[in-house]
Structure 1
Amino acid sequence: MPGNRTRGQRAGLTRQSVLEAALALADREGLKALSMRRLGAELGVEAMTLYHHVASKDALLDGLVEQVFAEVAPPRFQAASWRADLRDYADALLTALLAHPHVVPLVVSRPATTPRNLQAMENALASLRTAGFPLDRALDVLYAISGFVVGHVAAEADPARRDDRRTATDHLHPLLDLDPDEFPLLTAAARTERPRSGADSRFDFALEAMLAGFDAARRTES
């Protein structure tokens, strides 16, 4: 009955709307600006009202990680196209993380173990097993790809830059300033980068190497 609704429900809030507002605030002003009081003010309610939807500040932070991963389509890997499917998943996760650079430290430090994320992992494991991976290796593949993408973004992403992909040679600038007499190989490598270079190139190279390794392991263990 209407009279039994909580204050948060009367305010038109849901857990999802709270998390969306929290993510928008973190994107705009960084994690230091995110408090229950500030978030409540953003939503036009008292801070205590938020606890009807998120049990604690930790639960709110876990929800932010969930929100970022939720932007990636739930991974479904088909037997005939699992390599392309994994590549698409890695690219989608990369894009989602780069869209929310202030939240990347949370993704690095907090396991994505909300029920929503766990169900996505469960579904991904099922489809990887269908693609021919033993169950334990399927989990290894999922962790390896996710960990690789998160680690790459943590090393490369700059919260001050909002574009989806990095400028090709940004990461090489320190190498270009080195003394070529002291570091001949580093400076030569930096100066002979191919047109599509830098962080994008390294990401794609490493991802393709990982996929080739997964395929070799799958063939050996199947």
Structure 2
Amino acid sequence: MAARQPARRGRGERAGLSRQQVLDAALELVDRSGLKALTMRSLGEELGVEAMTLYHYVPNKDALLDGLVEQVFTTASPAMDGSADWRTALHAYATALRAGLLRHAALLPLAASRPAVTPATLDEVEAGLRLLTASGFSLDRALHVLNSLAVFVIGHATAEARIVVAPDEAGGADWLATLAADRYPLLIRAAREGVGVDDGERFAFALDALLLGFEALRTA
């Protein structure tokens, strides 16, 4: 007796996947080929299923994009359950978010343009608000803190990913060293000493300044 062949999956039929597997595959595709390469068809090919099958896990393309934003924000941020000092928690959050955005730089336009709308992302926002209000911030200032911090991190990561200048190009260290010494002595000195050019150092400096400012305004 011939062996029974497995039934062929029809269009739109579940494929034994999960939403997380779909998002993971989408993130890998975007990392490799960019946002423009991400379509429901290309993602289906990546997973070996019909494009219609994906709609069991993400209802539409917008939901897929929101899920990608969720991937970066939720995996980069530590749990803010109120057990940590708010400055320590926000410092860890911002540092991890920058690292995640630089690791998945193709998602920077999404991070800058799409609000938090998925339950997992909103859970992170709610946790942050709980921590900040329990630490003395009013609700409106707590929202300002979280939004300001996110805008700063996204903007800094975007600049890091896009502005890459070789030493001999305009704006580079070697180029700066050729400027007129009587007109730009401090710029030339900075170029020769290599100071003020480390992205990570600049980020940490500005982050500390932000957190100090938030502290000064916390109960003002």
Structure 1 residues 77-105: Cα deviation after superposition (integer angstroms, max 9, x where no partner): 64872212211111111111111111111
Using the size of structure 1 for normalisation, the TM-score is 0.82
> CA distance change for structure 1 residues 79 and 120 in 2, over 3 Å: closer, same or farther?
closer
Cα distance in 2 for residues equivalent to 1:213 and 1:153: 21
Post-superposition offset of 1:75: 4.1
Is the contact between residue 171 and residue 198 of structure 1 (CA under 8 Å) also seen in structure 2? no
CA gap of 1:171–1:122, structure 2 versus 1, over 3 A, is: farther
**Mapping of residues 181-196 of structure 1, within 5 Å:** 181=180, 183-194=184-195
Name the structure 1 match of 2:205: 205
Alpha carbons 2:23, 2:68 under 8 Å: kept:
yes
Distance 1:28 1:15 in 2: 20
1:180 is matched with 179
Structure 1 unaligned runs (5+)?
1-5, 160-165
With over 3 angstroms needed to count, the CA separation of the structure-2 counterparts of 1:75 and 1:214, relative to structure 1, is farther
Find the aligned partners of 2:116 and 2:192 in 1 and give their Cα distance.
Answer: 40
Deviation of residue 177 (structure 1)? 0.4
Match of residue 128 from structure 2: 124
Partner Cα separation in structure 2 for residue 171 and residue 155 of structure 1? 17
**Contact 2:87–2:211 at 8 Å: present in 1 too?**
yes
- CA distance in structure 2 between the partners assigned to 1:83 and 1:124 by the alignment: 11
Residue aligned with 2:218, SS: helix
Query: Normalised by the size of structure 2, how large is the TM-score?
Result: 0.83
- Structure 2 regions of 5+ residues with no counterpart? 1-9
Q: C-alpha distance in 2, partners of 1:171/1:120?
A: 42
- Give yes or no for contact 1:66–1:114 (8 Å, CA) kept in 2: yes
Aligned residues: 207
Dislocated runs of 4+, deviation >4 Å: 6-9, 77-80, 169-173
Structure exhibiting the larger radius of gyration computed from Cα positions: 2
Question: Is the Cα–Cα contact under 8 Å of residues 101 and 158 in structure 1 kept in the other structure?
Answer: no
Q: 1:91 corresponds to which residue?
A: 95
Deviations 1:174-206 (A, max 9, x none): 243033205433222232344x85211111111
Please give the residue correspondences for 1:45-124 in structure 2 after superposition, counting only pairs within 5 Å: 45-76=49-80, 78=82, 81-124=85-128
Deviations 1:123-177 (A, max 9, x none): 1101111111111111111111111111100111259xxxxxx9xx999962430
Amino acid at match of 1:210: L
- The two structures, once aligned, show a CA RMSD in angstroms of 2.9
Contact 1:8 / 1:52 at 8 angstroms: preserved in 2?
A: yes
Q: Percent identity?
A: 53
Q: Distance in 1 between matches of 2:194 and 2:153?
A: 22
